[in-house]
Amino acid sequence: MTVRLLYFAWVREKLGQAEETVSLPAELTTVADVLGWQAQRSEIHRNVFTSAGIVRVAVDQTHAQPSVNIKHAREIAFFPPVTGG
């Protein structure tokens, strides 16, 4: 499955990239699975994605809890808690 991954704020800065297009392993089915997959990609990824639950996820531009299915996602975004307003 090919999907666009987006990164914002300090997640973007620490990873050194704003977006990438990847083929996710077929066995990943939920947001929690994708977070686990991210955490094992590199030392930097481990630091960013195991900041115990701090990184938030949006699937196709909608806030997504860990249990949300990502099988048909076209765009998955990773970011810290929002601080606008």
Partner 1 sequence: MAIRVQTEDFDIGREIAALTAGRIDIGAVVTFTGLVRGASPGKSLATHSLATMTLEHYPGMTEAELERVEAAALERWPLQASLIVHRVGTLAPGDNIVLVVTASLHRQAAFEAAEFLMDYLKTQAPFWKKEAATDGTGDWVDARASDDQAIARWR
Q: Which stretch binds partner 1 (CB under 8 A): 29-37, 38-46, 65-73, 74-82?
A: 74-82
Report the C-alpha gap between 69 and 46 in whole angstroms: 22
Number of residues that bind partner 1 (CB under 8 A): 16
- Which of 25, 54 has the CB closer to partner 1? 54
Residue 81 is a binding residue for partner 1 (CB under 8 A): yes
- Which of 20, 40 has the CB closer to partner 1? 20
Number of helices and strands (H, E) in the chain? 3, 5
Report the C-alpha gap between 61 and 73 in whole angstroms: 10
Residue 83 is a binding residue for partner 1 (CB under 8 A): yes
8 A C-beta contact, residue 80 and residue 14 = no
| Binding region for partner 1 (CB under 8 A) | 6, 8-10, 58, 61-63, 77, 79-85
